[in-house]
Amino acid sequence: MRILITGSNGFLGQKLVKRLSANAHVMLFCTSGSADRIPSTIPHQFEQANFDKPEELDRVVRSFAPTHIIHTAAISSVDVCEKEPERCQRVNIQVVKQLADLATEFDIHITFLSTDFVFDGLNGPYRETDDTGACNAYGQSKIDAEQILIDSGCKHAILRTILVYGTPNPGSSAKNLVVWAKEALRNKQNIRVVSDQWRMPTWVEDLAEACYLAASQNAQGIFHISGNEMMSILEIVQEVAKFWNLDRSLIEPISAKDIGQENNRPRKTGFHLDKAKSELGYLPTPFIESLKQINKELVSN
């Protein structure tokens, strides 16, 4: 397998590189908009590329000649997608159209990362066959990109996921919910946390494994990938505080309306995971078990 990972410097991208490097039958090709952050100890080829320029994406795919592409690169910020619709259109939709065309031309399998935000949050948890309907531009861009892949006829697996968390990559300042809450509470900071949004958070290591499972099996269609525990955002943070024995009195429950998220974030998503379990062999890690692994990694780092 010759696997090209887009967004290889990102949170999921670097975890994927680490996961795939353990497979002797995989050749790794990586691309990102910034200089290579993958450790030199991991065998891989890298080329920096700006996907705003179609010719650069075309050059990367043609030069690496991958058998598989795992496309993680995207604008995932809801606010950025709302404020910069043209950029959102280019990066989240037009790039996927170009990848689909290249995949069709060269018989490449694409694993595409999507989101629970393709749903409006009124009827969660959701199955792959449920009707989509986004309540923000980010979710709509993913709906449009999914449809492009479906209509293209190229070989593809669409992996929708939810609220990804895990140990930050070395040198990264990016924070996910679990790490943010842990650090803030450890520093005795008061934090405000939404109590009326429900999710099934996804450990990034599980998501990386699901990407490998989909690519290695040349899976076709839509798959829901997440943890299997439904919790409010508040409950997630409370579990983090409990696990690390931090002061839960520092956590102030607030409503989505209090921070302007009443209408532009889905209230309750969550997934039915039967299809991913039966067809891919996907097995989500219990939330507490993932916290134990994160703690080990943080201690060792």
Q: Give residues with Cβ within 8 angstroms of 270, minimum separation 6.
A: 116, 124, 125, 126, 162, 198, 199, 200, 226, 230
Q: How many CA atoms lie within 13 A of 270 on its CB side?
A: 17
pLDDT in tens, the chain (301 residues): 999 999 999 999 999 999 999 999 999 999 999 999 999 999 999 999 998 899 999 999 999 999 999 999 999 999 999 999 999 999 999 999 999 999 999 999 999 999 999 999 999 999 999 999 999 999 999 999 999 999 999 999 999 999 999 999 988 888 899 999 999 999 999 999 999 999 999 999 999 999 999 999 999 999 999 999 999 999 999 999 999 999 999 999 999 999 999 999 999 999 999 999 999 999 999 999 999 999 999 988 7
pLDDT of residue 100: 98
- CA 76 – CA 137 distance, rounded (Å): 10
Residue 254 bridge partners (DSSP): 194
- CA 188 – CA 77 distance, rounded (Å): 27
Tell if the pTM clears 0.75, that is, is over it.
yes
- CA 196 – CA 21 distance, rounded (Å): 40
- CA 212 – CA 43 distance, rounded (Å): 17
Q: Is 274 exposed, middle or buried (0-12, 13-18, 19+ CB in 10 A)?
A: exposed
pLDDT of residue 99: 98
DSSP state of 130: S
